[in-house]
Structure 1
Amino acid sequence: MRAVVLEAAERPVRVRDWPEPQVRPGERLVRIKACGLCGTDVKLRAGKVPGVRLPLVLGHEPAGVDVETGRPVVIYPHLSCGRCVNCVEGHENICLATRGTLGITAHGALTELVSVPAGSLIELPEALDFEHGALAGGVVAVSLCALRKMGPVLDRWVIVAGLGGLGLVGIQLLVAAGARVIASSRSEEKRRLALELGAAAAVDTGGSYEEEVRAITGGVGASGAVDFTGAGEHVGRLIRCVRRGGRVVLVGYTSGTLSLPYAEVVMNGVDVMGSRSYTREDVRTALGLMERKKVDLLVDRRVSLEQVDEALDQIASGTVTGRVVAVLP
């Protein structure tokens, strides 16, 4: 069968023949129909994700058909143990005894067939297609998981930094929850789109936006900020944009170290926390929101397996508005 394989860091990914999976006890075979692409795939190709063994089949945002039942499903990518304290408490996205994550530290789903634990399958509602299924986890659920950490947002100012697919969905979720959103991006086009999606204001990160945020919020600062950029230099600025007791949630990431204005964090009582991926419950909630048309996924481009490497170039360039999905016949 065909698969998109990363054979060496800083080299193009390519489609090559790959052995069909062996179905072990407790696993189910899934025929992949769609798989989202994102910045993590770009980082993998660049060799910036630790713990990766090559060659690696990419693909961590998949949906397809359960071969045994014929039903459409979303695949939860984290191979969590289900028994550790984090899993028991519903945080299987940060399992203490994980066996890896599809497409990152285990072979993924940018291929024709995968075998995964039966518990990894989440039924895809009839009203949604495979593209919706693929992006339910990789986009909507990621944003949901991060926004849960924000706490109450009704009638509060919240900054969304980074207006790629995640940020644009994050804006829609925050607006639906009653927040007053300040969108931030260097891109005028993306700021305009954020306003169309319901953001109350948009600021250019190329300028001194801390003062602008303070002015928008009446001199107090925002209640919180969600950073989807992964650009460490922005975090200190976001800390200065939130009010005393505010919260900054980090979703995007890089392989470097993070420098914080230590005294300002402590003296202003600012919470800084990371949000990794999403849980199964986040996926179910995401599917429900999508089924009720509460979220527009803003799919920018659909590609074949042979076009994945070119698509990763475009994602890396920052020119993609919305998301890219690989679609299989």
Structure 2
Amino acid sequence: MKSFQVAEFNAPLKEVDQETPQPTGTQVLIKVKAAGVCHSDLHIWEGGYDLGHGRKPLSLKDRGVSLPRTMGHETVGEVVAFGPDVTAADKGDLKVGDIALVYPWLGCGKCATCVGGDENMCVVKPNSLGVYCDGGYADHMTVPNPKYLLNLKGLDPVTAAPYACSGVTTYSALKKVEFAFNSPIVIFGAGGLGLMALSLLKAMGGKGAIVVDIDARKREAAEAAGALATVDGKAPDALEQLAKAAGGPIRAVIDLVGNAQTTQLGFDCLTKGGKLVIVGLFGGGAPWALPLIPIKAITIQGSYVGNLRETEELLELVRNKMIAPIPVTTMPLAKANEALTDLQKGKLVGRAVLTP
């Protein structure tokens, strides 16, 4: 089995050749068909998050991420073998040869949060694939249980891979602002998540979105994907442009960037009673004047990926509404380092997907 691993933070991925693992217990072995390269992978690769205000960065090592680690949490694979403890009931409609999306946001599986269906929010022992456990930057991968494999039933593996993160992340964030779907919402960021959000918003019945991005190419991509309008976040009159484009009060903002500048502009453009949902992890410190939070009765909510149920809902939505996929750039697995560097430098529009 060939994989590309983070052996040291901030160092090139290391190519590793080892025996292909055999599934034990309830594991399932898959042959990787596609692995999306996500911005979260950059944080893992770099080793932490910027907390702003001169504070020490949040270290992934301190959060329990150990090295070496094979990244990749947007993975589609072909089922190769089931472990000896997998029952027919466990398999459901899944069989050897099927192509499935891997749900990666695993927890301990035993705490009240996990049992309640929100493994992505587990604080006892997070076990996310590609973060705490090895993921899809490889030609094979083991998945702990068949329930985390969602049969694609004919969906394209390459364009479906991002649904495991950018898809379910934006779907879960959009569900948090459904109250505002009868008016334009504002979305910060026109990368893979932003373009995904535009597609899903339309399928979910939303009126549409105004997209903010500092990259002209990405604004063009957002317009092509159906944005009602786009705004350069660095423009001195960006706030006025947003108000004009909305044509009325802005009740909801989804920030897929998550730095001090985007969250400030997102906060400022909201009307009373509005909601700012922060998804992005670019980093920095909170910029808001605290008295304005109660004066404007603003809700500020974080949104972290999504649960298994939401991922299942998302795939059904994709099938039923025939949602167009986001732009993807396919790259061979051997170019994993190049894909990360391109993402880091902002060269990619949409998503890079590695294909072993």
**So what's the TM-score if we normalise by structure 2?**
0.86
Structure 1 unmatched ranges of 5 or more: none
Whether the aligned pair in 2 keeps the contact of 1:48 and 1:255 (CA below 8 Å) is no
1:75 to 96, 102, 112: 102
Residue-by-residue CA offset, 1:237-267 (whole Å, 9 max, x unaligned): 1111111110011111135433332121221
Matches within 5 A, 1:1-329: 1-48=1-48, 50=60, 51=63, 52-68=65-81, 69-176=96-203, 177-207=205-235, 208-218=237-247, 220-292=248-320, 294-328=322-356
The 1:267–1:44 alpha-carbon spacing in structure 2 relative to 1, beyond 3 Å, is: same
Counterpart code for 1:61 = E
In structure 2, C-alpha distance between the alignment counterparts of 1:172 and 1:28, rounded to whole Å: 32
Larger deviation, residues 34-43 vs 87-96: 87-96
In structure 2, C-alpha distance between the alignment counterparts of 1:53 and 1:228, rounded to whole Å: 27
Whether the aligned pair in 2 keeps the contact of 1:248 and 1:270 (CA below 8 Å) is yes
Counterpart code for 1:42 = L
Structure 2 unmatched ranges of 5 or more: 50-59, 82-95
In structure 2, C-alpha distance between the alignment counterparts of 1:18 and 1:233, rounded to whole Å: 45
In structure 2, C-alpha distance between the alignment counterparts of 1:86 and 1:211, rounded to whole Å: 42
**So what's the TM-score if we normalise by structure 1?**
0.92
The 1:22–1:292 alpha-carbon spacing in structure 2 relative to 1, beyond 3 Å, is: same
Whether the aligned pair in 2 keeps the contact of 1:71 and 1:123 (CA below 8 Å) is no
Identity among equivalent pairs (%): 27
Larger deviation, residues 291-300 vs 88-97: 291-300
SS at 1:288 equivalent: helix
In structure 2, C-alpha distance between the alignment counterparts of 1:112 and 1:122, rounded to whole Å: 17
Residue-by-residue CA offset, 1:210-260 (whole Å, 9 max, x unaligned): 122223334x53110001113232102111111111001111113543333
Aligned length: 327
Q: CA deviation at 1:23?
A: 2.5
Q: CA deviation at 1:268?
A: 0.4
Displacement over 3 Å in runs of 4+: 254-257
Give the alignment's Cα RMSD to 1 decimal.
1.9
In structure 1, C-alpha distance between the alignment counterparts of 2:175 and 2:112, rounded to whole Å: 20
Whether the aligned pair in 2 keeps the contact of 1:31 and 1:65 (CA below 8 Å) is yes
Q: CA deviation at 1:143?
A: 0.8
Q: CA deviation at 1:57?
A: 1.0
In structure 2, C-alpha distance between the alignment counterparts of 1:153 and 1:18, rounded to whole Å: 51
Whether the aligned pair in 1 keeps the contact of 2:190 and 2:213 (CA below 8 Å) is yes
Residue-by-residue CA offset, 1:174-209 (whole Å, 9 max, x unaligned): 233222311111122222222232221211101131
Q: CA deviation at 1:120?
A: 4.3
Q: CA deviation at 1:81?
A: 3.0
